[in-house]
Structure 1
């Protein structure tokens, strides 16, 4: 199968949930570059919060809210959305099933562990060498769309509702993302149909379900190394009340405090390329709590493999195109070929450094 999902292969690593039960933390998890000193905090009103209901009716579209969305994409690269239309019971069910899955005995979880040469399953990502520093997390990765890319060997059957729950949640997330693409086209002044054709027609949708165990030496480890996402748009749902997502802004790390029922959206590298740098993908990372586990589910959206990434013509100014012309498949291969490291992959395709 010629599919960029298969490009993200990773070496097997120890199970962190099991390691967390002992006081012994292997040296490979200690990261010298965890810089707690550069921390700052985001007040609730600083990270943009977009009310999607104000933008859903094209006849009654709230211009101020649309400007707020555009500003969030250009200045922050991250925002929260409320009134997104996904029923509360769907949100609560996916949270519940995620928690139940990670409470299963290790043997049962490892029945769907990653196998050599495959991206999906229970394990880890971006591990390319035996010497590489590791993230303090266990993850489950699944391909969702197109449906023919699904490998059901890796889809949990326990809890028994997991598959249906994930199907329902991700289909509703896809509708929210299509809505956001249309709104972003309006903000940017580009053709809506062209945006939707590139971004959502046959697009790839994958999920990364994250379990970050507590760690007694939390200040020395990271749950997820600093990086920007390769895709177009990411939708993150926090599955419990433990905070840990940080974004880098103005040289400082800001802790995001999710609003109840909100979804966190972030711009990926592909969207930065398509908008010729108008919208920004932003470095983010996950920190660890000393006492409590943290769970989340990230849903990634990416154009088809064969889509050529180049800016919308309306967004090419006097400086011309800022990035090399590259296909989605070529960019994803570049992104997955190295360990997570800031915005290195995007920097590698910039025409002017």
Structure 2
């Protein structure tokens, strides 16, 4: 089997969610309401937690075994001691927060277009917009790698340090991703250099998410249930508000993020490449009634025409 991953298509224009939330709405449009989530079962088992993997100990057989179990049984784990400097992460978070605080017209200078998925706005592609349910979030989507696919017109110039912080952050995450891919390959019994070469030359897309507070938070979703089409995703919270939920045994389980840790999830490509041994797990995002939530997701895709290995 071969894979061919491209960012394609733009986004249809819909009302800005952050602007809607700023009006202190008591009721939101029916386009955002998901009645079925009222019946979803959310786990209240506080002892249920995803694995925490210490990257500084992955030369140890025991920690490598923990990584294998996390990928096989959960498809998610939190990565600590990953080597990305606190300063690099901190500056990226600050720049993201400052960008979303800008007036709408300034953010829209980097807005999505009908023929391109990059930029600021929402991710709406269906032509049946009136019937489509909408997610309670705004996003800024940018391609980081390869350089040939970058479209600089969508990269914010305000805050002034955004572009520099973005480049340092994304390059640091590439290094983390490559090391993880090599370890995953070893755990799967395949050649680490071969698998990592597919991802080194692949695509890195960064989606920065802003989930405004919502008076009807229990009826809307910041991200609908899904699994991602990439190989690996590295996500970090830009503030301390929870929201990510994983589906396990037909229940939704809330991830409690560790400060400074990356939440890593196995995605569809690695599930396929591992012949199903590693799992791409369905997940979603809930929103908070009183607090905004911000996160940064780095999606890593193999190069085009990559084949399954195991």
TM-score by length of 2: 0.94
Question: In structure 2, do the counterparts of structure 1 residues 183 and 288 end up closer, same or farther at CA, with 3 Å as the change threshold?
Answer: same
Q: In the alignment, is the contact (CA less than 8 A) between 1:8 and 1:125 conserved in 2?
A: no
Give 2:94's match in structure 1, choosing from 77, 93, 96.
96
Distance 2:143 2:197 in 1: 21
Question: In structure 2, do the counterparts of structure 1 residues 83 and 248 end up closer, same or farther at CA, with 3 Å as the change threshold?
Answer: same
Q: In the alignment, is the contact (CA less than 8 A) between 2:225 and 2:283 conserved in 1?
A: yes
- What's the offset of the Cα at 1:189? 1.2
Distance 2:22 2:288 in 1: 14
Note the alpha carbon deviations across 1:228-266, whole angstroms, 9 max, x for none. Answer: 010000000100000000010110000001101100000
Task: Structure 2 unaligned segments of length 5 or more: list them.
Answer: none
Distance 1:115 1:155 in 2: 14
Note the alpha carbon deviations across 1:13-39, whole angstroms, 9 max, x for none. Answer: 110001112215111011122246400
After TM superposition, list the pairs within 5 Å mapping 1:165-244 onto structure 2: 165-200=165-200, 202-244=201-243
- 1:17 corresponds to which residue? 18
- What's the offset of the Cα at 1:10? 2.5
Give 1:73's match in structure 2, choosing from 68, 71, 74.
71
Q: In the alignment, is the contact (CA less than 8 A) between 2:10 and 2:113 conserved in 1?
A: no
TM-score by length of 1: 0.83
- 1:279 corresponds to which residue? 278
- What's the offset of the Cα at 1:126? 4.3
Question: In structure 2, do the counterparts of structure 1 residues 159 and 42 end up closer, same or farther at CA, with 3 Å as the change threshold?
Answer: farther
- What's the offset of the Cα at 1:199? 2.7
Q: In the alignment, is the contact (CA less than 8 A) between 2:11 and 2:113 conserved in 1?
A: no
Distance 2:227 2:5 in 1: 18
Distance 1:272 1:11 in 2: 31
- 1:260 corresponds to which residue? 259
- 2:299 corresponds to which residue? 300
Task: Structure 1 unaligned segments of length 5 or more: list them.
Answer: 56-60, 316-353
Distance 1:217 1:121 in 2: 28
Q: Structure 1 residue 127 and structure 2 residue 119: aligned?
A: no
- What's the offset of the Cα at 1:305? 2.2
Note the alpha carbon deviations across 1:100-133, whole angstroms, 9 max, x for none. Answer: 0000000000111101110101111143121100
- What's the offset of the Cα at 1:72? 0.3
- Higher RCO (CA 8 Å, separation ≥ 6 residues): 2
Question: In structure 2, do the counterparts of structure 1 residues 36 and 53 end up closer, same or farther at CA, with 3 Å as the change threshold?
Answer: farther
Off by >3 Å, runs of 4+ in structure 1: 3-6, 41-45
Distance 2:197 2:7 in 1: 23
Give 2:52's match in structure 1, choosing from 46, 49, 55.
49
Q: In the alignment, is the contact (CA less than 8 A) between 1:228 and 1:283 conserved in 2?
A: yes
- 1:146 corresponds to which residue? 146
After TM superposition, list the pairs within 5 Å mapping 1:341-352 onto structure 2: none
Aligned to 1:279, the other structure's residue is in SS state coil
Q: In the alignment, is the contact (CA less than 8 A) between 1:182 and 1:196 conserved in 2?
A: yes
Distance 2:6 2:172 in 1: 21
Distance 1:283 1:139 in 2: 20
Q: Structure 1 residue 34 and structure 2 residue 37: aligned?
A: yes
